[in-house]
């Protein structure tokens, strides 16, 4: 396979990007699989792993640093360039890419919490530091010949259907909607990118009370995008989950047993009609089309871990007449509960990746895909400190009796590392329990070098001073026929501190009497990077040194309520280095101009111009005069001056408006999105929207406006940032509410006293 360089002509956007195409095989993941195969004494198991190593898997962009590459793996450009190298002539190739860094990510579970907070500042970083760089790289002419299949933000929108009662999900809700909209807009604008939205799985959204509101929510988000429904090419189910593709011995969830009880009423299925992903995708496709999506909508199923083979797999339907016994003996899903999601024991690899699988007409499947690479952990089984925002979720702890699982043990695999990291024990189990059983293969010679050098061994600490540690190790080797060893990267913890072409390195600039941990990775001339060496620790010698280390960079810079001439700012406290002179205070900059200093973590910038955007940064300083780098920039706007102040209950001259009201309802709750458009010829400087509920609904939480309610009358007043509406301009606001079972939508709206057209 020859490397295809230079720009490739972009093909027309097709209905199913997987049809007639190959898929990208991640060489870094394939190397980990081959390394596991090499360890096996069972030749049959090793041969099956050789087959697994050839399968395409998705590349996860799980934080901002993943775009350029970090200690956990190569960056996006590495994978795109390797995909070009794997492309065979004119045959299309699909690169499966996961977009996964929303503000407030994974608001319900903890194992995959992200780096960005659910705040305006977090959303700004998501847009400018995450989505924009990814979109810019994908749009380069060099990559126009690739088909990029983007799985958008697993677990995000589904959480707004089932977990909106959680305060963290309520806080994250507007940022999920706005973030997904932004990602869809930016990526859909690139012709060779295909957007697939995550829809959870049958054991999560399969109930009608969840599936219906979910379809409506997806439709609402689609309607806010520039291209509408066309911005979404399809949906993907079972991402990073293990719900079976099919339950072969339980094909009819309405089957009754004994006294006429349907088997879906069993303890395991809890009245859910959808026992498996084939049923669930067919169910969701019907609902999505009914909500407005085109019937050409395609579905994907992640089959990377839902095989459930091995000796525990049943071979026939149960003969028991007891409802729960019948279900438990017949089902292939051997989890203790369908909510047991973290590294489940006994799971196996499912169907190999396949385009347009036959036999599932009602499911409208574009492909079976491996979005979650087999062997990558769902989450740590114990608390592991990290700099990725990932926390310890007890659902990953095999010793935990979970109330969410009806007071049963979680069934998680022990000794798991952080989410996304290689988990050898689980990978071996997944291959052993694969269904269909994987046939054995051989490790093919790589047409291009995709094999990393050997892991550096024998890392040893040499001379240690008060500010330096000398390291040495045994030289790594590159694979036969490889591109040759290029050198080594040295990490202090997870921070890259230097590179060398020899098998030694001295880390400098360290603090006296401080313990440090070091690892080394080897890299070759093709860009392949080995796994990290075994970590070594060293403590620097005590010594008297001048404090030359600046405090940590201030984080969490946020703006409060602005006036026409001032903006209050706040941020998280910085820390000074161990043995340092202590944080003395902070300098606040407007652009490049120093506007003031503070000894606390807040400051109000004054003397500003009304209705003007400003950019602020903060630097911390210590008592020795060291100054940190600038914080991330925060953009904030002063309040617009309105003279004379209009009476919000009186129509402005020439004012006219249009309102679009969309709501999804479930049980006794609802979530509504309201689009307000100024259809007049005069700009609105401040607005108040009013409407009345017909059935006693009560607003419980809102976003993008100040919401109040008196009796059945609801009032929404603009936020500081969306008060100005130019002619033709729109703003999206929304709220959650409760109801008693009847939920008639409002039919009349006024804006600043003027009656609006209802779209």
Is omega for the bond preceding 644 within 30 degrees of 0, making it cis? yes
For residue 672, pLDDT over 70 is answered with yes
Number of Cβ within a 10 Å radius of residue 44 = 9
Q: What is the mean pLDDT of residues 171-183?
A: 95
Q: How much is the pLDDT for 459?
A: 95
**Which one of 62, 106, 120, 378 is the catalytic residue?**
378
Task: Quickly state the pLDDT bin for 649 (edges 50, 70, 90).
Answer: very low
Predicted confidence at residue 578, as pLDDT, reads: 66
Using a pLDDT cut of 70, give the percent of the chain over it: 94
The SS3 assignment for 396 reads helix
Digit-coded pLDDT (tens) for 128-145: 999 999 999 999 999 999
The pLDDT tens digits for 297-345 are: 999 999 999 999 999 999 999 999 999 999 999 999 999 999 998 999 9
Q: Mean pLDDT throughout 682-686?
A: 90
Order of strands across the sheet with 583-590? 593-598, 583-590, 613-622, 634-637
Please give the mean pLDDT across all residues of the chain: 90
Q: What is the mean pLDDT of residues 613-642?
A: 89
Arithmetic mean of pLDDT, 208-221: 94
Q: Which two tokens stand for residue 440?
A: 């054995």
What integer pLDDT is reported at residue 738 of this predicted model? 87
SS3 annotation, 107-172: CCCCCCCCCCCCCHHHHHHHHHHHHHHHHHHHCCHHHCCCEEEEEECCCHHHHHHHCCCCHHHHHH
Distance CA 465, CA 539 (A): 9
Band of the pLDDT at 646, cuts 50, 70, 90?
very low
Position 650 confidence tier, pLDDT thresholds 50, 70, 90: very low
- Tell me how crowded residue 3 is: count the other CB atoms within 10 A of its CB: 12
Q: Where are the alpha helices (DSSP H) in 362-513?
A: 424-432
Residue 385, classed as helix, strand or coil, is coil
Q: Which of 62, 106, 120, 155 is catalytic?
A: 155
Q: What is the CA radius of gyration of the chain?
A: 28
Roughly how many angstroms between the first and final C-alpha of the chain, as a whole number? 55
Distance, CA of 261 to CA of 347 (rounded, Å) = 29
Task: Tell me the two tokens of residue 192.
Answer: 């060779």
Question: Averaging pLDDT over each range in 101-105, 106-110, 740-744, which range is the top one?
Answer: 101-105
More confident position, 575 or 672? 575
CA distance 310 to 226: 48
Question: Does residue 436 have a cis peptide bond before it, meaning omega lies within 30 degrees of 0?
Answer: yes
**Quick check: 70 pLDDT over 90?**
no
User: If you average pLDDT over residues 481-501, what whole number do you get?
Assistant: 84
User: Which residues 6+ apart lie within 8 Å of 286 measured at CB?
Assistant: none
Residue that the structure tokens 């899903």 belong to? 333
With vertex at residue 642, the alpha carbon angle to CA 638 and CA 643, rounded to the nearest 5 degrees, is 140
| Position 468 confidence tier, pLDDT thresholds 50, 70, 90 | very high
pLDDT score recorded for residue 444:
56
pLDDT at 528: 79
| CA 456 – CA 473 distance, rounded (Å) | 7
Confidence bin at 601 (pLDDT 50/70/90): very high
Of the candidates 351, 196, 188, which has an alpha carbon nearest to the alpha carbon of residue 277? 351
Res 133: pLDDT: 97
732 is catalytic: no
42: annotated active-site residue = no
Cβ contacts of 147 within 8 Å, gap of 6 or more: 17, 21, 92, 93, 94, 95, 192, 194
- Asked whether residue 502 carries a pLDDT value surpassing 80, the answer given is yes
Asked if the model's pLDDT at residue 514 lies above 90, the reply is yes
Lowest average pLDDT, out of 103-117, 340-354, 548-562, goes to 103-117
Task: Please tell me the predicted confidence (pLDDT) of residue 644.
Answer: 42
| DSSP state letters, 336-352 | SSTT--SSBTT----SP
Q: What is the pLDDT of residues 423-461, one digit of tens each?
A: 999 999 999 999 999 998 775 554 456 678 899 999 999
> CB 681: neighbour CB atoms within 10 A?
11
Tokens of 512: 């006296």
Classify residue 616 as left (phi > 0), alpha (psi -120 to 50) or beta. beta
- Biggest distance spanned by C-alpha atoms of the chain: 84
CA torsion 688-693-698-702 (nearest 10°) is: -30
pTM, full prediction: 0.65
Residues 6+ apart with CB under 8 A from 563: 638, 639
Whether 395 and 412 have beta carbons less than 8 Å apart is answered as: yes
Rounded Cα–Cα distance for residues 661 and 106 (Å) = 28
């Amino acid at each position: 396979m020859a490397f295809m360089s230079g720009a490739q002509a972009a093909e027309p956007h097709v209905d199913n990007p997987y049809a007639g195409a190959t898929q990208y095989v991640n060489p870094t993941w394939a190397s980990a699989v081959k390394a596991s195969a090499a360890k096996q004494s069972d030749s049959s198991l090793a041969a099956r792993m050789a087959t697994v190593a050839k399968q395409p898997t998705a590349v996860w962009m799980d934080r901002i640093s993943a775009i350029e590459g970090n200690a956990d793996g190569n960056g996006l450009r590495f994978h795109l360039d390797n995909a070009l190298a794997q492309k065979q002539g004119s045959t299309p190739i699909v690169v499966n890419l996961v977009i996964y860094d929303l503000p407030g990510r994974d608001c319900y579970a903890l194992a995959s919490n992200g780096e960005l907070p659910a705040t305006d500042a977090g959303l700004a970083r998501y847009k400018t530091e995450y989505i924009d760089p990814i979109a810019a790289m994908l749009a380069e002419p060099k990559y126009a010949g690739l088909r990029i299949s983007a799985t958008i933000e697993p677990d995000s929108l589904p959480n707004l259907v089932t977990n909106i009662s959680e305060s963290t999900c309520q806080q994250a809700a507007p940022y999920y909607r706005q973030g997904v909209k932004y990602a869809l807009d930016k990526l859909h604008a690139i012709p060779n990118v295909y957007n697939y939205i995550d829809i959870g799985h049958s054991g999560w959204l399969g109930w009608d009370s969840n599936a219906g509101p979910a379809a409506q929510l997806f439709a609402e988000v689609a309607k806010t995008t520039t291209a509408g429904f066309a911005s979404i090419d399809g949906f993907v189910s079972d991402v990073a989950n293990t719900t079976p593709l099919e339950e072969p011995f339980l094909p009819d969830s309405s089957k009754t047993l004994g006294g006429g009880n349907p088997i879906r009423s069993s303890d395991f299925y809890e009245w859910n009609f959808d026992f498996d992903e084939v049923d669930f995708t067919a169910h969701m496709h019907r609902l999505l089309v009914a909500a407005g999506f085109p019937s050409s909508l395609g579905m994907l199923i992640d089959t990377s871990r839902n095989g459930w083979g091995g000796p525990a797999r049943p071979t026939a339907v149960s003969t028991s007449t007891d409802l729960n016994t019948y279900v438990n003996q017949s089902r292939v899903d051997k989890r203790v509960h369908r909510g047991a999601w973290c590294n489940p024991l006994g799971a196996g690899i499912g169907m190999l990746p396949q385009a347009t699988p036959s036999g599932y007409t009602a499911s409208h499947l574009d492909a079976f895909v491996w979005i979650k690479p087999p062997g990558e952990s769902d989450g740590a089984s114990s608390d592991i400190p990290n700099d990725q925002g990932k926390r310890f979720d007890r659902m990953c702890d095999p010793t935990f009796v979970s109330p969410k699982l009806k007071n049963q043990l979680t069934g998680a695999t022990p000794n798991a590392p952080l989410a996304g990291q290689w988990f050898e024990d689980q990978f071996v189990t997944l291959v052993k329990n694969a269904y269909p059983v994987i046939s054995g293969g051989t490790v093919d010679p790589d047409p291009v070098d995709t094999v990393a050098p050997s892991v550096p061994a024998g890392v040893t600490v040499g001379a240690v001073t008060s500010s330096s540690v000398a390291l040495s190790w045994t030289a790594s080797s590159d694979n036969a026929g490889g591109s040759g060893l290029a050198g080594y990267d040295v990490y202090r913890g997870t921070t890259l501190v230097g590179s060398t072409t020899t098998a030694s390195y001295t880390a400098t600039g360290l603090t006296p009497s401080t313990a440090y941990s070091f690892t080394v990775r080897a890299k070759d001339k093709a860009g392949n990077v080995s796994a990290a060496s075994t970590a070594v620790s060293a403590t620097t010698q005590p010594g008297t040194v001048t404090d030359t280390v600046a405090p940590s960079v201030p984080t969490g810079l946020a703006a409060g309520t602005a006036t026409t001439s001032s903006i209050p700012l706040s941020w998280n406290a910085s820390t000074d280095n161990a043995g340092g002179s202590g944080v003395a205070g902070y300098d606040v900059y407007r652009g490049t101009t120093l506007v003031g200093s503070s000894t606390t973590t807040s400051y109000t910038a004054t003397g500003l111009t009304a209705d003007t955007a400003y950019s602020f940064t903060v630097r911390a300083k210590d008592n020795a005069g060291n100054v940190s780098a600038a914080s991330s920039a925060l953009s904030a706007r002063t309040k617009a001056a309105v003279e004379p102040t209009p009476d919000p209950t009186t129509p402005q001259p020439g004012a006219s408006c249009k309102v679009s009201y969309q709501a999804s309802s479930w049980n006794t709750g609802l979530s509504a999105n309201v689009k307000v458009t100024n259809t007049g010829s005069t700009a609105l400087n401040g607005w108040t929207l009013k409407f009345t509920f017909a059935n006693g609904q009560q607003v419980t939480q809102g976003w993008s406006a100040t919401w109040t309610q008196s009796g059945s009358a609801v009032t929404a007043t603009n936020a500081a940032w969306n008060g100005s509406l130019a002619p033709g301009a729109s703003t999206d606001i929304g709220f959650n509410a409760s109801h008693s079972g009847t939920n008639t939508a409002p039919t009349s709206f006024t804006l600043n006293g003027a009656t609006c057209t209802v779209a």
